[in-house]
Structures are given as structure tokens and as C-alpha cells.
Amino acid sequence: MTRSKKESGCCRVEAVVSVDERGQVVLPKELRERMGLIKGDKLALSVMEKNGCPCCMVLTKVEFLGKKIGELVGLK
């Protein structure tokens, strides 16, 4: 998963992951390292809809969402 210098823009497919029988997914190690994710980090899951149907999910580190949202999810 190396990044090309020609790539630009904010969104691209980084990895394809599977959902297990418990509904869990594993983020690839390279992506976790690049994002600086460690055990216990909080991620907010946002769902986007098109024509009333969910089509996309976005994970965001809660620390980037601002103080009020952080308080809602239990960050000090």
C-alpha cells in the first residue's frame, strides 16, 4: 500500500477488509501506524447517505472532532 506521488485528493481506497461473524473488522497495521492509532483510541463512525440509503462509512479520530463531541464519547 505505497502512495504514489501522482495521487492527489483526499479520498481513495486504502484497503479492503472483511467483517467477521461478530461484526468486527481489522484495520491493516500499515494504516494504523500511518494514522497513529494505538490501543484504546476512540474513533467516530459517520455514515453518509445517498437518496436515503447508507452508502459510505468514515472513521475519524475523535480528537479531530472537537471538544464537545469528545465529551459526548467520554474523552476528558
Q: For the chain, give every domain's residue range.
A: 38-72
- pTM, rounded to two decimals: 0.66
| CB 17 within 8 Å of CB 28 | yes
| CB 53 within 8 Å of CB 43 | no
pLDDT in tens, 19-56: 999 999 999 999 999 999 999 999 989 899 999 999 99
